[in-house]
Amino acid sequence: MFVYETHGIHAGTGKDHLKHGIDNLEEIVRKAIDMGHPSVTFIVHTPRLTGYRYDAERRTDIKFIRGDAAYFRYGNNIKELKKKYGDRITIIHGIELEWLGTDLGLQWNKSKIFQADGIDFVIGSIHFSKEKIAYDGSIAETERLLERRGDKSRLWVEYLEEMMEMVDTTYKIIDVVGHIDLPKLYTGLPECFAELDDSDEPEAVKMRLLLEKISEYNLSLDVNMAGHVKGCGIYPQLPVLKRARALNIPVTIGTDCHHAEDYGRNYKMALDYIAEAGYTWYLSYRNGIPIKHPVKEREYSEEHYNYLNLAIELLKRRFSRSVPLRLPNLSFGGKFRDLLSDFPGSTASGDTSIIRARTGEKSITVSDKNSAVKNQVMMKGLYSHHRDDVGVLSLLFNALASESINVETAWLDYSNDRTATAFLTLSGQEDRLNDALEFASSTRPGSFLTLEERDMFPLRSSKKDNPTILEIDGIEMNIPISSCMIITSHKNSKGVLLILLSALASVNVNVKNLQLGKRGNKAYAVLGVEGEEKEIKDVLSRLGSSFHEASCISLSDFTGK
């Protein structure tokens, strides 16, 4: 069984006076590889302000921030493991953000996110009350908190209010809400949670409000097996989880492992547990992007979920990382229609095997293969067969713009013989086309092998077995997906795309594939490119106001088929 978890293996605290987690992360990586797992997930607690300490820590009579030094080394340690084992397993790492209130604690926590290098996700959780007493420390600590608050009901009500405050404050920086019913470890669960949908008890009312906030903020919920190991029941209890399912809150799975021998323990139990609550899929995270996994393996389910995750990742990367995008609207066609039952609310979409993901004005449709585009009309345009070199396409667009000729639609694809083929439909001063072609050919002799007007279909099929983008925001495309892509929306006016192509050529980026489409005064371009990602992102940020969107999408693990 594959382990795709989020609240995973806790990284150790090194030479701190009280140990927490596993110091030898490499041992876990090797164990995961030996077990045939495709990924392994690490997590570390953010260091706390020194006033937030368990009784066991206070008894050391030493004032320290548990895990501070280890926290600063965490990112570098993960980088080293990726260098050593990255070709054999995917290594994911996140942080568990310790909620410390809205005052100094909030600023402290924001700084900890910046100090965590390249994390994939953030879990927000509460271990300490506003009185700085631990909810999960010991019976003695819980009794002290009960005495402060008066009774069990008030303890739970104030805990849930603190959780709501955390969610309201941090929903833009966290992805997952951790062990939502943690106090049950020493207080037991409020009886009213057994009838969570119907009870008017204050604890039930607060829990319903908290779950509604989690749903509205598009956060996911941590299904955490540590509660089972400690004897208080899986976090969260089943009635809470069923309520979450009714609110369409996605879940993640975590073994919350603190010892090497516990890696992957109870994972099958977690899958059965969320299935009992009505879930058919769950999430893990990578680079801030939610990745979906089926609860029950079926024929082709892994392949189909891979394409689903590809569509969602392509859509997500068109948004800023600060914009929450947990589950877009989905449509499935052809063989992917078997996913309809896993995603209630999704829609069927014809016989062609496609997955469409959409949020607001943005959408993207992908297929597992490049197929012939239907219902096209033959059009007159410019055919170019040229060297597949940096700047050649930019030169052609430059020559056309110099004669006031606008490129309306464009198709470009490379060949394995280091040449490329393009077909452009044009408007504007087309009687000056010959002058533009002469200018292009003479400026770079030998680069253009054929350059002439032809009647052709504007969208061509290429690399038929390659996963393909078929649509962007309602504009038909037919471009193979590659490991580095650019998506733009921009004004449909003369010379605008020339800005992009010139900018890319200036930093030695070669355009391997291109599709240009339009609707009204707005145009869309999708490009497959080769070049340095940092340079690409830099030039995209400087394109100017003619571009409504200019996204660089790097799919580091994408191999084509």
* 530 bridge partner residues: 510
Q: Using an 8 Å Cβ cutoff, are 357 and 304 in contact?
A: no
DSSP code string of 245-289: HHTT--EEEE--B-SGGGTTTTHHHHHHHHHHTT-SEEEEEETTE
Encode pLDDT of 205-217 as tens digits: 999 999 999 999 9
Residue environment code for 66-90, b if the CB has 16+ CB neighbours within 10 A, otherwise e: bbbebbeebbebbeebbeebeeebb
CA–CA gap between residue 256 and residue 10 (Å, rounded): 7
Nearest C-alpha neighbor of 528 from the set 448, 464, 469, 474:
469
Nearest C-alpha neighbor of 56 from the set 16, 83, 23:
16
CA–CA gap between residue 20 and residue 277 (Å, rounded): 32
> What is the four-CA torsion angle of 28, 31, 35, 36, rounded to 10 degrees?
70
Q: Do 150 and 230 reside in the same domain of the chain?
A: yes
| pLDDT at residue 372, as a whole number | 52
Residue environment code for 115-153, b if the CB has 16+ CB neighbours within 10 A, otherwise e: ebeebbbbbbbbbbbbeebbbbbeeebbebbbeebeebe
Has residue 87 been placed in a domain?
yes
Q: Do 392 and 489 reside in the same domain of the chain?
A: yes
Domain-terminating residue out of 367, 398, 421 = 367
Q: Do 354 and 484 reside in the same domain of the chain?
A: no
Provide the domain limits for residue 402.
Answer: 379-554
Q: Do 328 and 442 reside in the same domain of the chain?
A: no
Domain-terminating residue out of 294, 324, 353 = 294
| pLDDT at residue 17, as a whole number | 45
| pLDDT at residue 366, as a whole number | 96
| pLDDT at residue 35, as a whole number | 84
Has residue 561 been placed in a domain?
no
Cβ atoms within 10 A of the Cβ of 50, count? 12
| pLDDT at residue 31, as a whole number | 85
| pLDDT at residue 460, as a whole number | 58
| pLDDT at residue 202, as a whole number | 97
Q: Would you give the end-to-end CA distance of the chain in angstroms?
A: 24
| pLDDT at residue 1, as a whole number | 44
Q: Do 310 and 287 reside in the same domain of the chain?
A: no
CATH number of 524's domain: 3.30.70.260
Has residue 28 been placed in a domain?
yes
CA–CA gap between residue 511 and residue 70 (Å, rounded): 43
Pairing mode, strands 9-10 and 251-254: unpaired
Has residue 52 been placed in a domain?
yes
| pLDDT at residue 18, as a whole number | 47
Q: Which residues of the chain have a pLDDT value below 70?
A: 1-3, 7-8, 10-23, 61-69, 321-326, 370-376, 458-464, 556-561
Q: Do 335 and 249 reside in the same domain of the chain?
A: no
Per 3-state DSSP, the chain is made up of helix, strand and coil in percentages (nearest 5) of 35, 25, 40
| pLDDT at residue 67, as a whole number | 54
Q: Do 271 and 310 reside in the same domain of the chain?
A: no
Q: Do 129 and 242 reside in the same domain of the chain?
A: yes
Domain-terminating residue out of 367, 396, 414 = 367
Name every residue whose Cβ is closer than 8 Å to that of residue 61 and which is 6 or more positions away in sequence: none
CATH number of 82's domain: 3.20.20.140
Number of residues that this document lists for the chain: 561
Name every residue whose Cβ is closer than 8 Å to that of residue 427 and which is 6 or more positions away in sequence: 405, 406, 408
Q: Do 222 and 107 reside in the same domain of the chain?
A: yes
Q: Do 316 and 215 reside in the same domain of the chain?
A: no
Q: Do 470 and 529 reside in the same domain of the chain?
A: yes
Nearest C-alpha neighbor of 479 from the set 316, 365, 378, 363:
365
Q: What are phi and psi for residue 263, nearest 5 degrees?
A: -60, 125
Has residue 559 been placed in a domain?
no
Encode pLDDT of 292-310 as tens digits: 999 987 777 888 999 999 9
Has residue 1 been placed in a domain?
no
Q: How many independent structural domains does the chain possess?
A: 3
Q: Do 116 and 208 reside in the same domain of the chain?
A: yes
Element (H, E) at 499: helix 496-506
Half-sphere exposure of 235 (CA within 13 A, CB side): 25
Q: Percent of the chain, pLDDT > 90?
A: 61
